[in-house]
Amino acid sequence: KAGVTQTPRYLIKTRGQQVTLSCSPISGHRSVSWYQQTPGQGLQFLFEYFSETQRNKGNFPGRFSGRQFSNSRSEMNVSTLELGDSALYLCASSLEGGGQETQYFGPGTRLLVL
Amino acid sequence: KQEVTQIPAALSVPEGENLVLNCSFTDSAIYNLQWFRQDPGKGLTSLLLIQSSQREQTSGRLNASLDKSSGRSTLYIAASQPGDSATYLCAALGDSNYQLIWGAGTKLIIKP
């Protein structure tokens, strides 16, 4: 069974630009969660999508948004990039989500904002 | 507001030793407590998930315990091996907002 895949793996952007990250969950998983990991703040929950609907949202500004498609693939978008958005962005998938079961993580997308 | 703390931040032990990693949380209203490992350049791997009604979970050489009343969880690794070297993170799932709150991790180095 293929694992969670994330594309691209590395990305360099400049301040003010926008970026879209993609996550393909394990086949059959309907929940996709996104996390941001930085040396200063550690891991923080961004949002969770289930059956194409945002089910839960962390404490991030509206510049961070996402969506989920009918095949459960998910995209995350960050608009008007700031230097502080430089981070490793991880997505995780699970069958039903809600954090109540094992999540399977992708390798992450490392974003550098210059 | 839930806070999750992991002490120590780093730990280095010789191969073969048994060791304990600590995780503490401030709010006992949790749905579950989860342990993960993160290898450099890779994502996270789920190790153990303990429901709030459970006291411990075991998987191979790993055993995790949960004491909600004291706000503590421990991850016990038996007979450590160099392949166990990684950063270990714990995370508590709030039972009202269902969001994982993460500790900063313990970087474990097992010396051959």
List pLDDT tens digits, range B90-107: 999 988 888 899 999 999
Q: Determine how β-strand A10-13 pairs with β-strand A109-113.
A: parallel
Q: What is the pLDDT, as a whole number, of residue A96?
A: 86
CA–CA separation, A64 and A85 (whole Å): 10
Distance from CA of B59 to the nearest CA of A (A): 14
Q: A56 contacts in B (CB within 8 Å)?
A: 97-99
List pLDDT tens digits, range B9-63: 999 999 999 999 999 999 999 999 999 999 987 889 999 999 999 999 999 999 9
Q: What is the pLDDT, as a whole number, of residue B42?
A: 80
Q: B103 contacts in A (CB within 8 Å)?
A: 42
Q: What is the pLDDT, as a whole number, of residue B98?
A: 85
Q: What is the pLDDT along chain A (114 residues), one digit of tens a residue?
A: 689 999 999 999 999 999 999 999 999 999 999 999 999 999 999 999 999 999 999 999 999 999 999 999 999 999 999 999 999 999 999 998 887 889 999 999 999 999
The contacts of residue A39 (CB under 8 Å, 6+ apart) are none
Indicate the Cα dihedral angle A20, A41, A48, A80, nearest 10°: -30
